[in-house]
Structures are given as C-alpha cells and as structure tokens.
Amino acid sequence: MFERLGRFVVHNPWKVIAGWVLITIAIVAFAPALGDQVSRDQANFLPSDYESVQATELGQEAFGQTNNGSATVVVKRTDGKPLADPDTAAIAALTAKLATKGTVDHAIGAAPGQGSPSPDGKVATIEVGFDQPADDPELLDSVKQVRSVVDESLPGDALTHAVGGQVAQLLDNQDAFDSALVIVGAATVLLIIGLLLVIYRSPVAALLPIVTVGLVSAIAPGLVAWLAQLFDFQVDQSVQIVMTIVLYGVGTDYIVFLLFRYRERLRAGDDKKTALIAAVARVGEVIMSAAAAIIIAFMALLLAVFGAFTSFGPSLSIAVALMALAAVTLIPAVVSLIGTVVFWPSKSWQRTPKGTTFQKLGRLTGRRPGAVAVVSVGVMGVLALGMLGFNTSYDSLSQLPSDTESARADNYTKESLPAGTSAPTFVFVEAEHGAALDQAALDAYGAKLGKADGIDGAAPIPDPADLKNPAKAHFAFISPKNPSVAQIVLFLDANPFANESLDVAGGTLRDVADAEAPPGTQAHVGGLSSVLADIRDANNRDLWVIFPVAGVLIALVLGLMLRSIVAPLYLMAAVVLGFFSTMGATVLAFQGIGGQTGLSFMLPMMLYLFVVAIGTDYNILMIARLREEAKLGNDSRTAADLAIEHGGPSVGAAGLILAGTFASLMLAGVSFLTEMGFAVSLGILIAAFVMSLFLVPSVTALLGHKAWWPGHGDEPDALPAASERDPAPIGS
C-alpha cells in the first residue's frame, strides 16, 4: 500500500503539492476563525446534571441572575494607611462616574463591593456589572474602558488601584495566551531550525519542516473551527497553542523518520527516486501506526464529561491526522523535486558512520540486556516516587503571570478583606410544589449555615422596608418573581480556589445544607467554589475512565501492527511507568523545589495522553526495527544491538526535537503552560532515551521469540529482496 503511494507521490510531485496548496487556500479563505469558538470560562464545560450548574440555573430563573460578567475596582492608599475622607470621596465620585450610562460600554451599574470598605478600613472596592455573559469577547473592551476611566479618575500619588474580577481575569488571560502563542511559535521555529542544522548540517533540511508544517498549521485551525460549529462545542483557550506545538513537534518527528530512512537507502546504493519510494514504503507504516495511536489517545477524550478535555480530542486528532497525511505525501513530493539537495551542503549522507555512540550503546544492551532493563526500570521507578506528594490546583489566578493587573487586584483584596469575599458561595432554597417560603425559617437556616465548618459567615441582606436598620436585616432573600425560591449568600473562610474550600463548597456545606433545609424545601449550593468542586469531581472521573480506555485502545493498535499479544503488554507497561516517572519528577520540580502548593488539574490528563501517545511513537519505531532485524535472521540480542545502532539516531533526534518544541512552552509566562512544557518535554526525553532506547530493546532481547507470541513476526522472510538484505533501519 505505502509502496504504491510512494510511487505515485514521487512520480507526480507537482500534482501533490498543488493539491495541498489549493486546499490550504480554500480553508484559509472560507473557514471560520478558531478564536471565535474559544471559551475562557471553565464553568461552561460542565454538564447540566452537576449541582453547581443547577444552582446557577435556579438563580437565573428566580432572581434574574445570569452569568453576566463584572469587574472589580480595588483601591488602597500607597502608604498602607486606612482610607481618609478625601480618599473615600474620590472613590465615591469614581463609583458615580462608572455608574453613569455611556461611560463604559455594556455597563449596567456600579456600586460598592461586598464588604467594602474592608474591616481595617484600608481597602475599598467597586463592582461594575455588565449586561453580557462573562466570556463575551465584547466585555474585554469594556474592562479596558473601566481601567482607562479609573486611571484618569485616580491619578494622584495617594491612592493605588487595580481592576480585577472575572472579566478582567479573562482579559489578562487572553493577553497572556496571545503573547504565549507568539513566544512559543517563534521559539519552536528557532529551536527546530537549530536542532536540524546540528543533526543534518543542512539549511534545506532545517527549513523543510518549517515550510511544510506551516502549511498544515494553516489548515488545521479552520477545520477544527468548522467542526466546532457543526457539532456545537466550545474549544478551550489552550488548544491553539498546544496544537501549534503538536504540529511542529510531531511533524518534525515524522520528517526526521523519513529523511533518516531516505539517507540510509541512498547509502545502500539506491538512486534518488528508488530510495525515496523505499523510505515512504517502510516509514509510511510506522508514521501511520504512530499517528493512529496518538489519534486514538486523543479521541478517548470524547469520553470525558468535562468539556475542556472533550474539545482537545477532535482538535488535536485533526492536527495529527493532517500531519501524518502530509508526512507521506507532501514531504516526499517536495523531497522528490529537490533530491539530495535536501542534505546540502553536507556530504555526510554519502558515507556510513563508524564507531558511533549508538553502536556502543547497542553492543552494551545486546550483551547485558538484564542489567540494562533493571537500571532503566530503577531510574523511572525512583522518579515515580515523587507522585506521593502530588496535589492539584484549581486556582485560575495562579495560572496568570504574577504581574497582571488582575493578580495585583487579588493581592490587594487578600491583604484586608476576608478570603471568601472575592467569590461568595450561594445557597438557593426551593420549596416543593411551588409553595411560598417562610422568611423566619429561612433566616434561622441562613444563620445556621453561616456558622458551618469552613464558613466565615452569612451576608446580611437589608430589609427593603427599612434599609438603614441593620437589626431588621435578613440572612435570606426571597425572590420577588417566585416566592418559592430564596437565596443565601455565604463567605468561605479560606481562598475560594483552595482545595479545602472546594471540599467545603462541594462536600460538607452541601451535606449541611441538605440536612438542615427547612421541611418541604430543597437546597442547591452554587458559586465559584462549588463550580470548581464539580470540575474536580468531573476531572477525577475522567482520569479514571480515559486512562485505561486510551491504554487499551493503543495496545490494540500495537497488537494489530505487531500481530502479538506479549509485546504490546510490556510496551504499554513501559509507557505507564514513563508517565508516573514524569509526573513524579514534575511534582519534585514544582512543588518540592518551586514551592507551589499544587499542579494544574489539567496536567495529568494532558501529560498522560502526550507521553502515552508520543512515547508509543518511539516504541513503534524501535519495535518495528527489532522485528526487522529478527526477520533478517538475527538472534534477539543481536537484533537489539542492531536496532539501537540503526534506529537509535532517529529516535534520539526525534526525541530531542519534540522535547525542545514542548520545552518552549516554558517561555509562555502562563503557569499551566510552563508546567506542561516542563512535564511533556521531560516525558518525551524519558520515552526516547530511557524507554525506547534501552528498556524496550533489553526486554525484547530477554524474551526472545516469546515477545512475538502468538504471531511469528520475528521469523525470517522466505527470500528478502536484494536491497532489503542490507541493514536498512526503519526511520534511521
């Protein structure tokens, strides 16, 4: 199959290139922008059967509450002293100005924030409400206007200020991710060019991935956006950055596999066309099997209940499928036109190197496979112990660069206002059968909830008939639209993003609210901490479902490719050990050395899929080379020796390039991307230089013929072709 494809591409290069160019032009011209399908609010990714979502819907129906956005202006004195009368007068004037219609687009009012001024009198807040949902792109400009008005109104040296809140966080988040996309894209391109220059000593080979992958990266976002419109799903804001890295990383890997094989056939004496056809014929199977493993792993994300994970599945699968197709069509077509110029000006492609490092490593593994296997497992096992200290973080603010205005606003409020003030927790009480609620019973209920474990108190609500009399305040507000529904506002006594707050809002508070609810009523706990608690539950469920499903599906791909049951089992066991060792090392780096309280909750899922899928790429490359050596009549130890000698360079080169592209994420300035860049790049290095280069060949050497049971994949061919009797490693 791949030989026929290779012949068509090599003999019709202009047709293939023209087809790719026309498709690119059509998609770029007519496809919607991927950015229009992006959601920056994680709550939008939760299914409707979670309690926090039900609470939000009840609040919208009964109180007209929506998920409309808001911004919080935080003001304090530069000298740290309590606010003086002139300060409060300036803040009141600013509040009135922000409340004036037409000052800020989409603003529907401005008022002092909850708990303002702070108990110590040092901080005041102003809440600016908007008439659109928090993730509406138009509100990002509204926040910019708020910041401009505040800057103009409080220009003095006495007061300092910052504009934070939900929409402001989304604005800073977008700016951080937009900057990250530029930085990561530039760093990735420079890194790939630099590494390929070192490997091939040819500017042509170094630029080939940039041009071809650039073409594919122009197509993928448009296809993903079309898919998002067709199936009505939203895309997480990290997708486009990760997609860029995946395309350049995986694409460069596939190009390396092809060029190493092409160079090997040239050294074996094939002419340029024949060598390229042979390269496509052999490496095509490896590339497509590897791509299938990655796509299956990514598509397993469709089983997630948390929508952010679901959006990664089809998005990254489309990117990988396009790149694999380009690797066996577009890349060979370009190389067919330029021939050996792809290695210019280097002449190293004309001679086979002797006495290389990989030859020495191959001899070591072939002679002492047991020792090599024990050391490989030991290294990964020691790193995996770091998982014992693993904690997750759901703090979206901590993911932003510390110098953003949102982060500064949050720090100001933490200095003087109670921790829970920034994100109140809401309890909605609903009477059965539409009966009217009793105010006295609700007030007693609200007061009791305010004293529950983990709660700093309930917010008193002034009596509409006597607003200036605190003694007549209530702890529950009955909906004027629906007297069978009431709302109670509670403040947590810890950071609303902290795991202990999630334990309260998603656990103990719900238990107390249900147990103590007035007879004939039902309670629903909502608010940001409740949403995050449900996201945590969804995340935990997804990890337990997706991990084994992806592993089993990839093992099936390996089994079909190798026609073996034994080999896929230890290949997947090696990959799983690689995942735990990578996570353990990341915990040690960020929580141990870096002092972070936890790692982003999305990291384990992303890392598992990348390490499992991409690590399987290298395993496929190496196990295919082991099988080829065995089919040439070599015993298992000699096959391991030769597989490392000939396949090691391509695995090592691909691992370095892919690890380098993911490492560029560490320059993004966004905590999640920094963690992901470190973890995935380390995981790829472990997969390439420990798992595929040493562990897999050594275990295969120890098992011998049993590794291919029940098939006979290691049995020699009846009569190999003359060109195939030469050592011709897959991907090397």
Locate 301 and state its tokens. 């994300």
Q: Which residues pair with 161 in a beta bridge?
A: 75
Rounded CA-CA distance 434/430 in Å is 8
38, β-bridge pairs: 235
- CA dihedral of 472, 474, 478, 480, whole degrees rounded to 10: 40
**Strand-pair category, 455-458 with 159-164:** unpaired
68-77 and 159-164 beta bridge pairing? antiparallel
Per residue in 619-654, is it b (16+ CB within 10 Å) or e — as a string? Answer: bbbbbbbbbbbbbbebebbbbbbbbbbbbbbbbbbb
Q: What is the mean pLDDT of each run of 10 residues along the chain (732 residues)?
A: 84 90 85 61 64 84 70 87 88 88 84 77 85 74 88 82 80 70 73 77 82 82 78 66 75 82 82 87 82 83 77 81 89 88 75 73 90 94 92 72 76 77 84 86 90 85 58 77 88 85 90 90 89 88 86 83 86 89 93 86 80 75 84 86 84 81 74 84 90 91 86 59 41 40
Q: Pick from 213, 241, 251: which is nearest to 657 by CA?
A: 251
The single-letter code of the amino acid at 22 is L
Distance in angstroms (rounded) separating the CA atoms of residues 100 and 109: 7
Find out whether 436 and 458 touch, Cβ atoms under 8 Å.
no
End-to-end CA distance of the chain: 21
| 414-533 has the same fold as 67-171 | yes
Domain map of the chain by residue range?
Answer: 67-171, 414-533
Q: Residue 691's closest CA among 381, 432, 464?
A: 381
pLDDT at 384: 93
pLDDT value for 354: 64
Fold of the domain spanning 67-171: Alpha-Beta Plaits (3.30.70)
Rounded CA separation 261/726 (Å): 13
Task: Report the run of H or E that residue 521 belongs to, with start and end.
Answer: strand 521-527
Q: Which phi and psi angles does 698 have, rounded to 5°?
A: -70, -40
Q: Is 497 helix (H, G, I), strand (E, B) or coil?
A: coil
Which is nearest to 78 in space by CA: 164, 158, 168?
Answer: 158
Torsion-angle region of 721 (φ positive above 0: left; ψ -120 to 50: alpha; else: beta): beta
pLDDT score for 719 = 43
User: What is the C-alpha to C-alpha distance for residues 34 and 234, in angstroms, rounded to an integer?
Assistant: 10
Q: Find out whether 586 and 686 touch, Cβ atoms under 8 Å.
A: no
For 96-112, the DSSP string reads: HHHHSTTSSTTEEEEEE
Of the candidates 250, 217, 247, the residue with the CA atom closest to the CA atom of residue 615 = 250
Question: Residue 697: CB partners within 8 Å, gap ≥ 6?
Answer: 365, 369, 372, 622, 626, 640, 643, 644
Neighbours of 558 (CB within 10 A): 23
Please report the beta strands in 60-142, taking only residues with DSSP state E, as ranges in sequence order: 68-77, 107-112, 123-133
pLDDT of residue 177: 65
Q: What is the pTM of this model?
A: 0.76
Residue 101 is predicted with a pLDDT of: 84
Per-residue confidence (pLDDT) for residue 234, from 0 to 100: 62
- The CATH number for 414-533, chosen from 1.10.10, 3.30.450, 3.55.50, 3.30.70, is 3.30.70
pLDDT, residue 727, reads: 43
